Amino acid sequence: MKGGLARREGHERTLTVVYDGECNLCLATVAKLQQIDTDATLKWVTLQSLLSGETPAWPAIAAVPPSKLAAQMHVTDDEGRLYGGSDAVLRLLREVPSLRRLAVLGELPGLRGLSRLLYRFVARYRYRLFGKNESCADGVCSLPRTKPSAGGSKR
């Protein structure tokens, strides 16, 4: 199924993903993952809705301090396990059949350390590298502004 919904009936796993709803890279990644087949149901929760209390914290995420939530993406599973940073990315990749091999590569001993280092760098500088989407700051989304036209159309 598309949209991050599980394909297997009877054994559906659910992963809940906490991501930065103001990060352009994060938003683009979520949009892409919602369009491709996954083996688990993916539930998406923005960091901002969690911190504001709009989305109540669940046991697996409740003990994570706000500063750590803001520093990296987090994934929780049905068993209550918590994955953060590059481990969260690798956990998601394992549920995407077309990307599963990347997860296997990323978990190799030498590459696991490299993936963690790369993730920390990108996470720290995500706004500088990819920009920040503030159109939904404070939970209120705004439409892009357009320039008023100078008058009728050309004929």
**E-only strand ranges, the chain:** 13-19, 40-46, 74-76, 82-84
The pLDDT of residue 93: 95
Residue pair 50/61 in contact (Cβ under 8 Å)? The answer is yes
The pLDDT of residue 11: 58
- Mapped onto helix, strand or coil, the DSSP state of residue 76 is strand
The DSSP secondary-structure symbol of 139 reads G
Weakly modelled stretches of the chain, pLDDT under 70: 1-11, 135-155
The pLDDT of residue 8: 47
Predicted TM-score (pTM) of this structure: 0.80
CA distance 18 to 44: 6
| CA atoms in the 13 A half-sphere facing the CB of 26 | 29
CA distance 121 to 139: 28
